[in-house]
Structure 1
Amino acid sequence: MKDWWKIVVAAVFEVGWVIGLKHADSGVEWVGTAVAIYVSFHLLIVAGRTLPVGTAYAVFVGLGAAGTVIAEIIFFGVPVKPAKLILIAVLLAGVIGLKFVTDEGGEKEWHGSH
């Protein structure tokens, strides 16, 4: 379960760097964006060592996309549209469902050619 939390934290940092790519204006903001990119992908890579990579990546991207849309609404005044909120809910339901149906030990490690 600890590795799934790494994915959640990585997704939070993903929201930070995606917003930073769009809104960073100063050197400090660009450094913060770069740090967020590093932390986000580092946590994804570390968690991917034990979690099924495809599922971990799908959860990472889904949470990051939903978080980015929500952050734009909250922090940047992007208009709230009911259809957008419904689609975010569907996306999150899919991500959560994918996590629950994934066998965490189901993928075998690859050690060279087989």
Structure 2
Amino acid sequence: MGWTYVLFAAIVEVFWVLGLRFSETPLEWVGTIVAIVFSFYFIIKACEVLPSGTVYAVFTGSGAAAIVLIDAFIFHADFSIPQLIFIVLIIIGVVGIKMTTNDDVSTKNEDIQGAD
């Protein structure tokens, strides 16, 4: 379930970053703030079962890659082959981190709390 929370956080991150860029009315700003709250809620939930460093790396990497692609394909921002190569490297890194992460952090947290 932790990776699902990371996925949700990254998806919602795209909305709040776009909200920061395009919000003009109070209602749009409220929507942006709500998206930020949900994004960080999902991050907190993911950190309960996954290492926080892993969660943060995957969250920021996947969100950044998605936003660059949205800027390029939806908002027609400049996009180059080197940018594509670096996005592919980010995706490879995110997949590599996911594949090498032990999902058993909640047990470790219980062991640490039990030692007090």
Question: Which of the pair is proportionally richer in helix?
Answer: 2
1:40 corresponds in structure 2 to: 39
Which residue in 1 is equivalent to 2:90?
Answer: 91
Cα separation, 1, equivalents of 2:89 and 2:115 = 39
Q: Describe the shift of the 1:50–1:80 C-alpha distance in structure 2 as closer, same or farther (beyond 3 A).
A: same
| Aligned-residue offset at 1:75 | 2.3
Query: What does 1:5-24 align with in structure 2 at a 5 Å threshold?
Result: 5-24=4-23
Compute the TM-score of the two structures, normalised by the length of structure 1. Answer: 0.89
Displacement of 1:26 in angstroms is: 1.4
* 2:113 corresponds to: 111
Greater Cα offset, 76-85 or 103-112: 103-112
CA RMSD across the alignment: 1.8
TM-score (structure 2 length as normaliser): 0.88
Following TM superposition, the consecutive aligned residue runs of length 4 or more in structure 1 with deviations greater than 4 angstroms are none
Q: Percent of aligned positions with the same letter in both sequences?
A: 40
Give the aligned residue type for 1:111.
Q
CA shift, 1:74, in A, is 2.2
Q: Is the 2:6–2:55 Cα contact (8 Å) retained in structure 1?
A: yes
